[in-house]
Amino acid sequence: MPRARTRTQDQWQTAAEQENSGCLSFYILPPLGVLLIACLLTVFALNIPTQTLASSPTTGTPSSGISPIFTREIQHWGSDITRWANASSLDPNLVAVIMQIESCGDPRALSSAGAIGLFQVMPFHFHLGENPYNPETNALRGLSYLSRSLNAANGNVRLALAGYNGGIGVITRSEWTWSAETKRYISYGVPIYEDARNGVASSPMLDEWYQKYGANLCQQANKRLGLNP
């Protein structure tokens, strides 16, 4: 959960912008047929769609869904997770990891430390008058903090997860100073995220997390969401 109180896309230039002279640069080449062919090739090139670069794990290009490894409760929020992630330029699977560990999809989750809702956001992150249990508001504040954590970690997901759990300040501290909870958080979060990214059908680490820490949390979420038959 976020505890502290507290990328850019490359702008592509077209070939016409790169070559200000355009076809005029070929007028010195005889014969006229060469000139015409060169100009036609240039026009053709300008109309070829630019191929999208493969995204890094943290750029969060638009996604049609999340990995199937996540529990039924997280799948319930799949379209919302994707929408929230894309709006925040985050990877939907990373957002799903956060929700999985934090609340297992229970919008009314409340920790003993006072963290609230789907993304277990601390009260001081909300603005006056906001309902912290509202999924849209909770996602807005939680993912804003995750984005800040990723920026502070220069895109390093492991450090960003540590920052989300222990506060952004831990990112620049030696790991031996991290709390046991933060170390445990990344020990599950990172491999679960890697499994989600790699397209596997199941995640042994997520299964282990569920057995050790998540069963009661997910059962509560399942009941809250009305997913039981």
Least Cα distance to 131 among 105, 85, 141, 146 occurs for: 141
Confirm if 192 and 71 have CB atoms less than 8 A apart.
no
Residue 71's CB is within 10 A of a number of other CB atoms, namely 21
Is 214 within 8 Å of 104 (Cβ atoms)?
yes
Q: Which of 19, 102, 175, 181 is catalytic?
A: 102
Nearest to 95 by CA among 114, 77, 122: 77
Examine the residue annotation and report whether 102 is marked as an active-site residue of this protein: yes
Provide the terminal-to-terminal Cα distance of the chain, rounded to the nearest Å. 31
| Rounded Cα–Cα distance for residues 65 and 119 (Å) | 18
Q: Which residues are catalytic?
A: 102
